[in-house]
Structures are given as C-alpha cells and as structure tokens.
Structure 1
Amino acid sequence: MTCGNARDLGLLALRGALGGTLAAHGVQKLFGWLGGGGLDGSAAAMDSMGFRPGHRNALAAGLGEAGGGTLLALGLATPAAGAAGLGTMVAAAAVHAPNGFFAAGGGMEYPILLGAASGALALTGPGRYSLDHLLGGGLARPGLGLAAVGTAAAASAVVLVRRRRALHAEAAAVEARAANLDVLP
C-alpha cells in the first residue's frame, strides 16, 4: 500500500467515525431518535443554556450536526461540512467550559475534539475515497476550506456573543427582582 492510499484510508476512517458521531447527535436534536429530546426538547435545552430563541438555535445545531456529519461521512462538500461541525462544536464547548476540560467532569474535551477534527477535515479535504473526489473536487476546491473555517469562526463568535448577552440580561433581571424584594416592607 502506498503512502497516498494509507492517507486516504485514514481520512475515510476519520470521516466515517466523526461524521457518524455528529450525525447521531444531530438526529437526537431534530427527531428525538437515539434517545434524544427531539426539536422541542432541544429547543428548551438551548433556551436554558442562553441560546435564544431556543427553537431556531436547536434547529441550526441539529442541522449542522446531522447535515454536516452526513456530508463528512460521505466526503461531499467537505469544507462546508467540516465548518458546520466546527461551528456547532464551538458553541457546545462554550457550554461545557465552566466544567473544566475533561469530559468525565462534564467538561469541553469531547466537543473540542469533534470540532478540531471537523475543522481539520474542512482544511485538508476528504481524500480520494470520497464523493468530492468522485465528482471532480468542485465542492472541495483549494481555498474553500480556509474560507469555510473562517466563516464558521465568525458565525460562532456572533452566536456566543448573543448567548453571553442573553445570560447577562437574565442575571441582571434576577438581581433586580432580588433587590426589589429587599426593599419591600
């Protein structure tokens, strides 16, 4: 086996494992399959984590994971698919960050790994054993990965700033209610 074949087999294995994992999480959010909460349950969870409106954010996360994961597994539109996985995992890592790094304690280890692998595939491409390669590479041209990762980073920053503002507004409202209770006779 040549080095190129080994590299392409490695990318196929990575895409399959990563894409399957992301897709499984996405169908949990969208349809409630595999023990998930479905769109309504996911929307309530998103809202409680400060991603508002919860329904729109649950739909975006579910589509990013299910769609991006499926496309990664197939090796189709790999730069966009990898960027979708990266973007959803940046938000997930932010949610888990207060719990530290390690997944055993609820930390951000798992979403960081999924996001980094997704971003790496967006940048490196899917390899020879992919639909992108079979179709001539038009959906995975050089430079698309960098543009897709940059777009995912910018979109993630906007989402996280909006989340932070929502959480700060909620905390301020709780403080204001507590202060009003202190001044009541």
Structure 2
Amino acid sequence: MKLPSIAQDVVLLLARIGVGIVFVAHGWQKFDTNGLDATAQGFQGMGIPSPTISAYFATGVELIGGAALILGVLTPIAGVLLAINMAGAFLFVHMPNGVFASDGGWELVAALGLAALTIAAVGPGRFSLDRLIIRTPARESVRV
C-alpha cells in the first residue's frame, strides 16, 4: 500500500512542527526560565562533561535546531544535531532511570531523538524551506 505523496508531505510537516515545538520549548526553558548559568550548574550536578559548554550546546541546538525543523530549513543538519543532543541526554542522564519519563527515564529523549533523526533521513517534505531553496524534485513515495 502506498500513501499519496501529498499525505506524506503533510505528515512530515506536522511531525516537523510538533517535534520542533517541543525542542524550542526545552531550549527556551534552558535559556530564559532557568538561565544558562543555572542550566550549567544543573548539568554539573548530573555529571555531564564540560557542563558550561554542554549547556550552551544543548540550548543552542534545541532552540535553533527546533526552529529549523519547524521551518524545514537545513533539516538534515538540524535533525542529526538534535539526535546527538538527545543521545547525550540519554547516556549521561536518563538511561539509568529506566524507561518512563515520570521516573526520570529515557522515553522522551529517545522518542525526540529518533524522530529528529528520522526527519533528517527522510527529508522535510514538500512544505519546507529546504524544498524552496534547494529546488529538489519531488521525492519518491515511501512504500508502506
């Protein structure tokens, strides 16, 4: 069974917007609500290596990468950087706490990281700035 190309592009648009909003919200929380110094202190308390650099990296990648997903611009780069960021959160913070986010577990970071990586691999779809800027031909429909 094959979904129509337009349906795939709408789903990709909705996925990019939804995942992007979550990343922007978390990046904004680190930047504005907590502040970068407080985020770095929190990272230090969690044993994250180079906590100040890590705080700036995570905040920047979540804010800029999340916005890039929403707009569909530089999508492969944004998706990979966001996935790397979530891999760090998984390895350094959430993995020992089990699966469930309510217990500090890794389910949210895994879902977000894998969603970002999937979008990077599949592409942003027709409704994206990447498509307008690069002027790529319509991609083949994915067989389901």
**TM-score, structure 2 length as denominator?**
0.88
- Match for residue 60 of structure 2 among 63, 84, 88: 63
Give 1:106 shift. 1.6
Structure 1 residues 52, 137: CA separation in 2 closer, same or farther (over 3 Å shift)?
farther
- Counterpart-to-counterpart distance in 2, 1:137 and 1:107: 41
Instruction: Select the structure that is richer in helix.
Output: 1
Q: Structure 2 stretches of 5 or more lacking a match?
A: 137-144
Moved more, 50-59 or 9-18: 50-59
Equivalent residue, structure 1, for 2:75: 78
1:70-117 deviation line (CA, Å, top 9, x unaligned): 101100000001011101111111211111012222210000000000
Structure possessing the higher radius of gyration over alpha carbons? 1
Equivalent residue, structure 2, for 1:117: 115
Please say if 1:22 is aligned against 2:11.
no
Using the aligned pairs only, state the percent identity.
40
The amino acid that maps onto 2:72 is G
The amino acid that maps onto 1:42 is T
Q: Structure 1 stretches of 5 or more lacking a match?
A: 139-185
Equivalent residue, structure 1, for 2:96: 98
Which protein has greater RCO, CA pairs closer than 8 Å, 6+ apart?
2
The amino acid that maps onto 2:49 is R
The Cα RMSD (Å) is 1.6
Runs of 4+ in 1 over 3 A off after TM superposition: none
**TM-score, structure 1 length as denominator?**
0.69
